[in-house]
Amino acid sequence: MKTLEVYNPYNRHLIEKVPVTDKESINKIIETAARHKIADIDIVERAEILAKIGETLHRHRYEFILLLVTEGGKPFVDAEHEVAAAVKRLFLARQELHYMRGHYIPGEQAPGSPFQFAFVTRKPLGTVLVITPFNYPLFIPIAKIVPALVAGNSIICKPSSETPLSTIRFVELANQLLDTPGALSVIVGGGSEVGDFLVSHPGIDGISFTGSTEIGKRIVKMAGIKKLQLELGGKSPALVLEDADLDLAARECVTGAMKGGGQRCDALSRCLVVESVLDKFTKKAIEEVKKWPFGDPFLRTTRIGPLINRKAIEHVHYLVTDAVARGAEVVLGGHRLDPFYEPTILTQVTKSMDIAWKEIFGPILVIIPVKDATEAIQLANQSEYGLDASVFTKDLERGIQIAHQLQCGSVTINRHPQHGFGIVPYGGDRQSGLGREGLGWSVTEMSKLRTVVVS
Alpha carbon separation from 411 to 23, 132, 199, 418, 430 (Å, rounded): 42, 24, 31, 10, 15
Give Cα 45 distance to the centre of its chain.
28
Active-site option among 253, 265, 271, 408: 265
DSSP states along 163-228: S-HHHHHHHHHHHHHH--TTSEEE----IIIIIHHHHT-TT--EEEEES-HHHHHHHHHHH-S-EE
The yes-or-no answer on residue 231 being catalytic is yes
- Please enumerate in sequence order all residues whose Cβ is within 8 A of that of 385, keeping only pairs 6 or more positions apart, or say none: 213, 232, 233, 234, 235, 236, 359, 408, 428, 430, 431, 432
Alpha carbon separation from 448 to 124, 176, 183, 276, 329 (Å, rounded): 6, 28, 18, 52, 52
Contacts of range 213-217, beta carbons closer than 8 Å, 24 or more positions apart: 213/384, 213/385, 213/431, 213/432, 215/191, 216/433
Question: Residue 444 phi/psi, 5° resolution?
Answer: -60, -40
Question: First-to-last CA distance in the chain?
Answer: 59
362-380: string of b/e by CB count within 10 Å (b at 16+)?
Answer: bbbbbbbbbeebebbbebb
CB atoms near residue 51 (< 10 Å):
17
Measured at the alpha carbon of residue 356, what is the angle toward residues 354 and 357, in degrees to the nearest 5?
A: 70
Identity of the residue numbered 135: N
116-137: string of b/e by CB count within 10 Å (b at 16+)?
Answer: eebeeebebbbbbbbbbbbbbb
Question: Residue 10 phi/psi, 5° resolution?
Answer: -80, -50
Active-site option among 82, 231, 252, 342: 231
Catalytically annotated residues: 231, 265
